[in-house]
Amino acid sequence: MKYFFPALMALVILAGISLVATPYVAEMLFPAQKTTLRTATPQQVSAALASWLGVESGRVKEAQGTSQMSAQGKTSWFTFTVDRQPVEHFIRANRMRQQDLTPEILQRVFVAQTPSADWWQPASLERQTCFISTDEGQELGLIYDAEQQKGFLVARTRAKAGSF
């Protein structure tokens, strides 16, 4: 009985210290708001888009891209110039649905979380429709003008709950 109260006091003090330190340790291990922005070279973007579109990288021109990773997931933005056929193949392969490009869809899919890049201007194509695909946590949005052969593509992948 002589050591009970000192041991209890030590236990309470250690519990208090651990409760104070837990948020700091958790933030170091699992950062909640850490956001990483990466901009790729035009050659890297061209090669990646060519792979997605199923063409040689030389056919994808004026390619630019950037991506952002955060605890919520990854978002990538691309602009490119390519002829119509590979884009049609990409739309069919990803089962994208054609939709009216309303101001709400433009805002939600293409303008929300906009990258800080002067080249990202999907509304500049002045299109009436867009193509959207949502599949297992991944969302693709595409605006393409066949006359100018120019496209804007956004790809979002949501982080799964419990993953890090």
For the chain, domain boundaries: 32-158
Rounded to two decimals, the pTM is 0.72
**CA distances (Å), origin 144, targets 114, 150, 151:** 18, 6, 4
Position with higher pLDDT, 87 vs 30: 87
Average pLDDT of the chain, as a whole number: 84
User: Cβ distance 142 to 8 under 8 Å?
Assistant: no
Confidence of residue 2 (pLDDT cuts 50, 70, 90): confident
Token code pair at residue 148: 């100018």
Q: For residue range 100-110, list pLDDT tens digits in order.
A: 988 898 888 88
Within 10 angstroms of residue 147's Cβ, the number of other Cβ atoms is 7
- What value does the mean pLDDT take over residues 143-152? 91
Closest to 99 in 3D by CA, of 143, 151, 43: 143
Task: State the pLDDT at residue 67.
Answer: 87
Lowest mean pLDDT among 31-45, 60-74, 109-123: 31-45
DSSP three-state, residue 132: strand
Of all residues in the chain, the percent with pLDDT exceeding 90 is: 16
Lowest mean pLDDT among 17-21, 31-35, 148-152: 31-35
User: Does residue 154 carry a pLDDT above 80?
Assistant: yes
**Residues ≥6 apart with Cβ < 8 Å to 39:** 65, 66, 117
Task: State the pLDDT at residue 97.
Answer: 93
* Exposed e or buried b per residue across 2-21, where buried means at least 16 C-beta atoms within 10 angstroms of its C-beta: eeeeeeeeeeeeeeeeeeee
